[in-house]
Amino acid sequence: MSNPRVLAATLVNTVLLDRRSLTQALAEMKADMKVDARVWSSTQNLAYGTLRQAGRLRFFLSRLVGRPLKPVDLLGHLLVGLHELDSTDTPAYAVVNETVDLAARRHPGAKSFVNAVLRNFDRRREMLDREVAMHPEARWNFPEWWLKRLRSEYPQHWERIVTVQNAHPPMTLRVNQRRADTDLALERLAEAGCPGRITGPWAITLDHPVPVAELPGFSEGFVSIQDLGAQWAAPLLEVADGMRVLDACAAPGGKTGHLLELGDLDLIALDSDAGRLERVRENLDRLGLSAQLLAADAGKPQAWWDARPFERILLDAPCTASGVAGRHPDGKWLKRAEDMQQLCREQTRLLEALWPLLKPGGKMLYATCSLFGEENSGQITAFLARHMDARIEPIDPPGSREGQLLPDPDSDGFFYARLLKT
């Protein structure tokens, strides 16, 4: 089980067959097994690479196998094998031989079948590659309903969006200004063999990703891993020392930590998942910061609120995560078109429940990692129509348009709207 191909196949099955989050599956696998760092890195590269290209790979498989797979869990082995043959420099004979051997250990009767599928692909790859262009999901590696929305909302940008999100995302750090200067941190990283460039007020994007354990300054709290787009949340909330602040959907704690780096705050970090809230605690301990952590539903303040109003509220609302599909490629295969309505209802529920908790003159930042207008500008327009005591303030994160950041090579996609309570 310590073979990267086996582990990656298991993770791919967890997402595509069991319909479970890759992040959660990775965390559970890491907790259950002692795996060498190099094996773990290879496993993640194979799993993420396979899921980024799953539209293309599943199309290949449909052309190579004219019937449902039996046993069904051969899917992971075959997709990982096809990914290696299609997108890596590993010699074809090595990929085929080891994939066949590993699959046969679990399913001895499938040995000749797996061998035939992979060798057939190797022979027919040029023809199959030409066929991909005629099938949108295979060509762009996104579900058709997702592509339809992107084309409708971003007719001039949708191709660039999906191209960026099909590439390996950058590794970006947030420098803790309480402990280090950004220029000094950049020098320290370069000296340690981790060169990069400054991409934001607190951001350094590394030239090449490195394992967290090898990242200088991470364990001491000098830097955190956080995408450039996500780093705009804390400054846009405009916190100041002494403010009472609510981070309403806090886990895993990246934005919580950034808020506390920017000011000495009376901050409550709230999340409905007690397990994920432990991630917030771990992040804050590493940074040497503290907050009150509460495991509760932000949409039911009667169960946790002490009736003291907040001066600032960050609502990082649950959404389709369509802006971070490059970093979380499982999301595009787990989400369905019908999920949008349920997510929009949840966003509305949270906005309505939290607005009364904000004092007059206070500000709420509504944030999503979505590209879809229904979750973003549409949600805010409807909220303003319902609340005469709410006013939207103009904000302009670099590269954004009316609060919407599109994915680019340096950043994921995000949406921000700052609401003032008049």
CB burial readout 21-32, b (16+ within 10 A) else e: bbeebbeebeee
Please list, in sequence order, all residues whose beta carbon lies within 8 angstroms of the beta carbon of residue 116, skipping any fewer than 6 positions away: none
What DSSP line would sit under 28-84, residue for residue? HHHHH----HHHHHHHHHHHHHHHHTHHHHHHHHHHH--S--SSTTHHHHHHHHHHH
* 129/53 Cα distance (integer angstroms): 13
Is residue 319 annotated as part of the catalytic site, yes or no? no
Dihedral sign computed on CA atoms, order 302, 305, 308, 312: negative
CB 306 within 8 A of CB 238: no
Measure Cα distances from 176 to 241, 278, 310 in Å.
16, 21, 25
* 172/411 Cα distance (integer angstroms): 9
* 77/90 Cα distance (integer angstroms): 16
Give the DSSP H or E segment for 118: helix 111-132
314, β-bridge pairs: 247, 365
CB 255 within 8 A of CB 249: no
- Of the residues 194, 319, 344, 369, only one is catalytic, namely 369
What DSSP line would sit under 156-221, residue for residue? TTHHHHHHHHTSPPP-EEEE-TTT--HHHHHHHHHHTT--EEE-SSSEEEESS---GGG-TTTTTT
Show which residues are catalytic.
369
